[in-house]
Amino acid sequence: MKQNRRDFIKTGGLIAGGLAVGFHTNGISKNFIKNFGSKMKLTYRPFTLEMKHVFTVAVHSRTTTPVMLTEIEFEGTKGYGEASMPPYLGESQESVATFLNKVNLEQFKDPFDLENILSYVDSINKKNTAAKASVDIALHDLIGKIMKQPWYKIWGYDKTKTPYTSFTIGIDTPDVVRQKVKEAEEFKVLKVKLGRDTDKEMIQTIRSITDKPIVVDVNQGWKNKEFALEMINWLNERNVEFVEQPMPKEQVDDISWLTENSPLPIIGDESIQRIDDVVKAYGVYSGINIKLMKCTGMREANKMLNLARSLNMKVMIGCMVETSCAISAAAQLSPMVDWADLDGNLLTSNDPYEGIKVIDGKVVLTDYPGIGLKS
């Protein structure tokens, strides 16, 4: 018998704890760590990503994205991480620096003590998810390098099963939209930002030059469920595959109604931050969008993925505007998802790293150890 949403939520905490298991390294670290007297050293520096185009979504526009680049060094090996801070996360380089200044990794002698280290980092402050992700990613990179393996192999994922990634087209004038579509020629799927009064014009402009599959991200821009359903029916006739976060996340009942009546899958984004939100999304959305900057990094992202799969929910791995560091980290999960939106680094002009590739629109994982960055 199918469990209704109310009954499921009552037991959701148990399921989350029982099914969403992560990677445990206790018991194998001694094969890799020779000197337990060593200490991990965390350093960080601010960096500003420059956008190739003005990036416009339903609620704001910007030309840059602030990030914080992190390093964890242990016995001569360095792991790299990143915090990316788009406006809606509520974090800044200053807040991330304040948080990271509180992180004391020197109290841990073994970087393989992943669960305890990251539980400690998570406990420092309730929020600061991007700051936490910057430590998580760097720690995963460090461990993978010590093991001389990329994380998709450590998790046992098949690199040949990576999906195509969508390429994002921000809200803009028809002339600029046409230019962006031409620049995205190698991509098989386009992700189109909607949520303003130009929605139909955006889609019609793209459809005037290509019939590629489209996914749309409304960024909570539609407020009325009947209007949202009308738009989705219109989009369904124009080769759109799914709709991401069509309505404000607070309108749970309206979104549930919309998902039940929609001909297209409805994917939660702003509604989905951390693992508890997967439980809350059950029965409300068709699937979830996992982003490292929202969920504190790779450790929790993998748990969210496993939990969503156990609930037969669709899964997308997404990103912010990020460097190849965070994109490559997220890509380690990509063989297990339905959709990928891992183009954040491709929207920038000054990416300081080299990591995963996109070839003919498909995510291609490297065999570099850790998160897959070229040394």
Burial class (CB in 10 A: 0-12, 13-18, 19+), 250: exposed
Domain 29-148 in CATH 3.40.50.450: no
pLDDT value of residue 3: 52
- 280: pLDDT strictly greater than 60: yes
pLDDT value of residue 88: 74
Six token digits for residue 141 = 């990179």
Residue 152 has, within 13 A of its CA and on its CB side, a CA count of 25
Report the DSSP pairing between strands 357-359 and 362-364: antiparallel
Q: Of 350, 328, 333, which Cα lies nearest the Cα of 288? A: 333
Q: Give the pTM.
A: 0.89
CATH 3.30.390.10, the chain: domain bounds: 29-148
- Torsion-angle region of residue 75: left (phi > 0), alpha (psi -120 to 50) or beta? left
Q: Which of the following CATH numbers is that of domain 153-364: 3.40.720.10, 3.20.20.120, 3.40.190.10, 3.30.565.40?
A: 3.20.20.120
pLDDT value of residue 14: 42
CATH 3.20.20.120, the chain: domain bounds: 153-364
pLDDT value of residue 53: 81
pLDDT in tens, 175-210: 999 999 999 999 999 999 999 999 999 999 999 999
pLDDT in tens, 31-56: 554 545 689 999 999 999 999 887 76
Q: Lowest-confidence range among 18-22, 73-77, 276-280?
A: 18-22
Read off the pLDDT of each residue in 107-117 and give the average, rounded to a whole number: 96
Query: What kind and span of H or E run contains 236?
Result: helix 225-236
pLDDT value of residue 22: 46
pLDDT in tens, 126-173: 999 999 999 999 999 999 999 999 999 999 999 999 999 999 998 999
pLDDT value of residue 10: 46
Q: Measured between alpha carbons, how far is 111 from 126 in angstroms, rounded to an integer?
A: 23
Mean pLDDT of the chain: 91
CA distances from 174 to 39, 60, 206, 330 (A): 55, 18, 8, 32
pLDDT value of residue 89: 82
Q: Measured between alpha carbons, how far is 364 from 150 in angstroms, rounded to an integer?
A: 13
Residues 6+ apart with CB under 8 A from 232: 243, 246, 258, 262, 263, 264
- 26: pLDDT strictly greater than 90: no
Six token digits for residue 33 = 């760590």
Q: Of 105, 170, 165, which Cα lies nearest the Cα of 139? A: 105
Query: Could you give the angle at which helices 199-207 and 225-236 cross, rounded to 10 degrees?
Result: 10
- ∠ Cα 191 358 317 (to 5°): 50
